[in-house]
Structure 1
Amino acid sequence: MESLSPNIFVSNMNETIKFYELLGFKVVMSVPETGADLVWTMMTKGAVTMMFQTYESLAEDLPEIHRTDGGSLLLYINLKNIRGFFDEIKDKVTVLKGLETTFYGATEFSIKDNNGYVLTFAEHES
């Protein structure tokens, strides 16, 4: 195994793209390649890749997929300069838990994205 890239089901692709652009992600691929009715998109920031897909686009192929907003998923993202990143986005997103140092020595904070998913950002400072 070399990497893990979550494919997250979303209700509104355009709102999702805007939210993740606030976090500094950039669209690198989409289906279709242009237009307003995107059904899938891949976004990256540094070494982190996330894919987003409309629920409807897989309904026939994989009817086993079902969820409510947010699901039972927490995405844990390591980064550098967590304090600067927190200061940059804290007034633009829903912060669930502010900066704190954990018992295992990481500095973390958690936000909720526009689809109800929880993103926890962490820096393991030495």
Structure 2
Amino acid sequence: MESLSPNIFVTDIKQTVNFYKILGFTTEMTVPEDGEHMVWAMMKNGKVTFMFQTLASLDESDDNLPHVSRTNGGSLLLYISVKDIKALFDRIKNKVTVLKALEKTFYGATEFTILDNNNYVLTFAEHDA
């Protein structure tokens, strides 16, 4: 295996793209390519890649994946390793919903946790060298 790129289902893709831009992600690709009426987008920040797809696009496809939940959020926590966690936290803390502020864990990581605009939980962590 070489990489993992979650495909996260959302209701409003433009709102999601704008939210992840706050976190420093850039848009790598969209469908359609014009970016106006997106049903799918790939975003990247460093080595982290997320794909976002509208729930509505599932209903329009021939293989509508009935096992995919049609609600935002879920029992999923995305754990993202970063460098300079304090700078990231300071840059975004007033622009996002912070669930847990910066804290040092018993296993030596410094972490904080936020809620994205689709009710997914994101934990950012910096591990001691």
TM-score (normalised: structure 1): 0.96
Q: 1:76 is matched with which residue?
A: 79
1:66 is matched with which residue? 69
2:124 to 114, 121, 124: 121
Percentage of pairs with the same residue = 64
What amino acid is aligned across from residue 53 of structure 1 in structure 2?
Q
SS of equivalent residue, structure 1 residue 103: coil
5+ residue gaps, structure 1, are: none
Aligned equivalent of 1:108? 111
Using the alignment, how far apart are the partners of 2:70 and 2:13 within structure 1? Answer: 16
Runs of 4+ in 1 over 3 A off after TM superposition: none
Partner SS, residue 114 of structure 1: coil
Q: CA deviation at 1:93?
A: 0.3
Shift of 1:35: 4.1
* TM-superposed deviation, 1:58: 1.8
Match of 1:37 in 2: 37
Please report how far the alpha carbon of residue 120 of structure 1 lies from its aligned counterpart in structure 2 after TM superposition: 0.1
TM-score where L is the length of structure 2: 0.94
Say what the alpha-carbon RMSD is for the aligned residues: 1.0
Number of residue pairs aligned between Structure 1 and Structure 2: 126
